[in-house]
Structure 1
Amino acid sequence: MKKKDFNIHIIGAGVSGLIAAKVLEANGFCPIIIEATERAGGRVKTDVIEGYHLDRGFQVLLTAYPAAQKYLDLDALDLQKFTPGTVIFNGGKQSIIGDPLRDGSLLFSTLVSRIGTITDKLKVLKLNRLLKRKTLSEIFEEEEKTTISYLMDFGFSFQMINQFFKPFFSGVFLEPSLDTSSRMFEFVYKMFGEGSAALPKLGIEAIPRQLAQSLTRTTFKYNTMVSSIKDGEILLTNGKSLKSDFTIVATDASNLIQNLNRLSTKWKSCDTLYFETKTRVIDKPLIGLITDSGALINNIFFHTSLEMATKPQAELLSVTVVKNHDLSNEALISRVQRELRDHCGINSYKFLKHYSIPMALPELKNIQYEAPPSETHLTSGIFLAGDTQLNASLNAAMISGERAALGVVETINNSILF
């Protein structure tokens, strides 16, 4: 059988599924991607509303991700980079802390900042040096503990943890207690230190759009929902069935494969709200953190502090909430508006959009950086991909898609040989 004659299906046109297709194409195959929605992207999507590009959730690309450097044309994405620091809103006042070794303009503000002690700042330098020397393999071989335990064991003060690490990494991990694995903390901290946090001018969806446009031998079936999967067959919700020699599931597989619901993934949720404001309270492209433990807002960011694809008439502000709540849409908006006024001094705004994201990031234990292709097998003909297989990052989504595709390639090559 010729390679182009194999029926290889990929369920899900998110970043993981697109990378799987890219790897299959590179090995001579012509995969078919089945996507339930009208376009590629999965959880990495952007909507254009009132002339603004609104990402579905505040997301950034870390340019140091090895998989991003391997599979993305970073220059073509027209990335706009964040300043390597944060604005801390505490007690009605602002403090700016950052990495003065990467941006000299942050030196004075970081030194005089009321956030953390001199000992804390020396420990930050120690942590930077430690993780610069540490390889990714070493990080993911370390014994796991919670991030909060890691920071306390490292000797950071409660003030430094509560006023910087907790609000910043709560926004990254989408959970307020920092129960996330210390492996993930070290990995993300290292990636922030070795590259930049950035956003494409056209929003985060520019990433899957670039991947989809690079595929020349892949067939896309949009607006097509899968009901169930078994070896050799895919059943669609419209009652039709598709013959499939190999199937890569690059989405939540628990509801698609019989007896897999016991392995269903738990998910972290968040809310992202967008507002139009007349002015910015943060001039540079810095993320603003709210340190008040009673506040619902975790972070804010003025997207118009970055160069955008369209010339805005005002300022675009995103607000991220990671704490669980039972507020209605209207009550949440009202609460956020009150906190913007009380904590950030933002009084004039126009509400644009609220995204409630129940499946924002997978909640994982015993996280891994990578896995061999052979471990992506679920059955002889079904392979699993997606960040749920490794760790909750865009980098992991890419690697898992790559490994699942290589698992299919290896299986086919071995069957041909024997």
Structure 2
Amino acid sequence: MLEPAYQVDVVIVGAGVAGLSAAHRLTSAGVTTAVLEAAPYVGGRMSTEKVDGFRLDRIGQLLSTSYPELRPTPGLGPLALRRFAPGVLLHRDGHTQRAGAQAAGGSARGALHVVRALASAPRGAAAPPGRVGTPVGGAVDQARLGAALGRIATTPVERILARPEMPAGQALTRRGVSARTIDGFLRPLLAALLCDPELTTSSRCADLALRAFAGGRLCVPEGGAETLPELLAQALPPGTVHTGVRVTSVSTTSVTTAEHGAIRCRAVLLATDARAAADLLPGLRVPAFHPVTVIHHTTDEPAATFSTGTSLLLDADRGGPVAHTAVISNVDPCRAPAGRVLISSTVLGTPPEGVDTAVRIHLTRLYGTSTRRWETLAVHHTPEALPAMRPPHDLRRPVRLLAGLYVCGDHRDTSTVQGALRSAHRAAAAVLADLGAAGPMHTADPAPTLPRAA
């Protein structure tokens, strides 16, 4: 008997959110798919370490309820999002203030409302819980900022992509935003959203981040970052995802693995990070990356002693290594065992020597409480946490390299979960168009037996 020409329609290399999302779209169209992951678990950088009942994210990437791809993605229906309090808390000049999109689900109207409130607040006044404190600029600056947030929340994405592109800091200055407003609000906010405190990111990408912030609420997946890829993997047909399988080479009709030899297919989709993709396909561009360090602390102090509540706290003064921090167990209680509080803090760039000591000193100022009795649970340093998006940055980088070979991931779109999901959507559509998929693609033998995902 003739050997079948191929064993599976599409092989996806990488079981991060992009690869798993693409697998859902392909299998839903009747295309047989195998997802191969070198690691012993799915999720890639969206992983969560479990220590003594704590759930500790390695990167702690923030999501937004306004991400267009989040809810429609097949498999993510059961995803529970834990929201931060509206807007953010800013620590500046010894005061803590609330700023940003509030009210009515973070709508543009709410964004404009709160900035007008900031404009009328007395300069130098401390902020009572839930109220606005020291303004980040004068009344004119706040009015301009409020109007800009209000407009950007409803601006079509394609119009944003048509704007002239330059570094975000330069674009904000050209738009007439004051230096105090940039440094007091926009810089720390964009640092939290894009991991870029120097504002070197493309102005278009920064505008998209501000649009998501003004139109939604910052949030995290319930149970940790790993919940999102695990939900995607669990909802795929049994036998689709194979972990512990290292791909050593790819072509348009096969992949070669270290453990199982060659697997023949009709198309290959690379859904790894940018560096791994370039290792398999020399010539693919490898971007610069933003390093991220996440430090997790715990204490038995009552959660009520932290006045920040469920807010994300940003340091506008840049008075230490911490860019932003939160009592994350207040936002998502299942991340800490009963009677314990989990504080997660993010350091951007190269961390200083003795990072834990430096972070503790900084957190003492930010939270206004001693950190001596806090226990350090983990220090996660990821040198290549997020691809940098310096101009010129193509937010719609081609996902079809040639017929039979495709690539997706946050390095093909924006360096966010939204970008990863969007690139997967585009790549799956390109694969289906090239294969002419309208149902099951073949009746050949089933895919080779490989280790199933745990």
Distance (Å, rounded) in 1 between the aligned partners of 2:356 and 2:312 = 20
* Residues 1:73 and 1:308: Cα distance change in structure 2 (over 3 Å): farther
Match of 1:404, SS state, is helix
- Determine whether 1:234 maps to 2:251: no
Moved more, 221-230 or 92-101: 92-101
* Residues 1:154 and 1:379: Cα distance change in structure 2 (over 3 Å): same
- Determine whether 1:407 maps to 2:409: no
Of 320, 331, 340, 1:306 maps to 331
- Letter aligned with residue 156 of structure 1: V
Of 315, 320, 325, 1:290 maps to 315
- Determine whether 1:271 maps to 2:293: yes
Q: Is the 8 A contact 2:25 2:74 kept in 1?
A: no
Alignment TM-score, normalising by the size of structure 1: 0.89
Match of 1:255, SS state, is helix
Distance (Å, rounded) in 2 between the aligned partners of 1:206 and 1:40 = 10
Of 370, 376, 381, 1:356 maps to 381
Alignment TM-score, normalising by the size of structure 2: 0.82
* Residues 1:236 and 1:72: Cα distance change in structure 2 (over 3 Å): closer
Distance (Å, rounded) in 1 between the aligned partners of 2:260 and 2:30 = 31
Distance (Å, rounded) in 1 between the aligned partners of 2:261 and 2:298 = 46
Distance (Å, rounded) in 1 between the aligned partners of 2:293 and 2:306 = 22
Distance (Å, rounded) in 1 between the aligned partners of 2:9 and 2:245 = 17
- Letter aligned with residue 345 of structure 2: V
- Letter aligned with residue 400 of structure 1: S
Q: Is the 8 A contact 2:254 2:265 kept in 1?
A: yes
Of 14, 17, 20, 1:18 maps to 20
Counterpart for residue 403 of structure 2: 380
Distance (Å, rounded) in 2 between the aligned partners of 1:318 and 1:6 = 43
Distance (Å, rounded) in 1 between the aligned partners of 2:195 and 2:263 = 38
Q: Is the 8 A contact 1:97 1:113 kept in 2?
A: no
Match of 2:296, SS state, is strand
Cα distance, 1:369 vs structure 2: 4.8
Cα distance, 1:273 vs structure 2: 0.3
Of 230, 243, 256, 2:280 maps to 256
* Residues 1:351 and 1:210: Cα distance change in structure 2 (over 3 Å): same
* Residues 1:342 and 1:217: Cα distance change in structure 2 (over 3 Å): closer
Structure 1: runs of 5+ lacking an equivalent:
none
Distance (Å, rounded) in 2 between the aligned partners of 1:220 and 1:247 = 15
Counterpart for residue 346 of structure 2: 320
- Determine whether 1:221 maps to 2:223: no
- Letter aligned with residue 309 of structure 2: K
Counterpart for residue 91 of structure 2: 89
Counterpart for residue 33 of structure 1: 35
Cα distance, 1:31 vs structure 2: 0.4
Distance (Å, rounded) in 1 between the aligned partners of 2:216 and 2:91 = 25
Distance (Å, rounded) in 2 between the aligned partners of 1:393 and 1:65 = 10
Moved more, 48-57 or 13-22: 48-57
- Determine whether 1:340 maps to 2:363: yes
* Residues 1:100 and 1:384: Cα distance change in structure 2 (over 3 Å): closer
- Determine whether 1:170 maps to 2:191: yes
Match of 2:278, SS state, is coil
* Residues 1:150 and 1:3: Cα distance change in structure 2 (over 3 Å): farther
Distance (Å, rounded) in 2 between the aligned partners of 1:145 and 1:200 = 33
* Residues 1:379 and 1:99: Cα distance change in structure 2 (over 3 Å): closer
Q: Is the 8 A contact 2:21 2:74 kept in 1?
A: no
Q: Is the 8 A contact 1:87 1:289 kept in 2?
A: yes
Larger proportion of helix: 1
Match of 2:234, SS state, is helix
Match of 2:350, SS state, is coil
* Residues 1:339 and 1:133: Cα distance change in structure 2 (over 3 Å): closer
Distance (Å, rounded) in 2 between the aligned partners of 1:342 and 1:196 = 26
Moved more, 21-30 or 212-221: 212-221
- Determine whether 1:69 maps to 2:71: yes
Of 91, 98, 101, 2:100 maps to 98
- Letter aligned with residue 203 of structure 2: S
Q: Is the 8 A contact 1:140 1:368 kept in 2?
A: no
Moved more, 114-123 or 230-239: 230-239
- Letter aligned with residue 264 of structure 1: V
Of 57, 78, 87, 1:55 maps to 57
Cα distance, 1:117 vs structure 2: 1.8
Q: Is the 8 A contact 1:87 1:94 kept in 2?
A: yes
Structure 2: runs of 5+ lacking an equivalent:
122-126, 442-454
- Letter aligned with residue 294 of structure 2: T
- Letter aligned with residue 180 of structure 2: Q
Counterpart for residue 183 of structure 1: 204
Distance (Å, rounded) in 1 between the aligned partners of 2:395 and 2:338 = 39
* Residues 1:20 and 1:414: Cα distance change in structure 2 (over 3 Å): closer
Counterpart for residue 452 of structure 2: none
Cα distance, 1:55 vs structure 2: 1.3
* Residues 1:11 and 1:387: Cα distance change in structure 2 (over 3 Å): same
Cα distance, 1:218 vs structure 2: 5.4
Match of 1:244, SS state, is strand
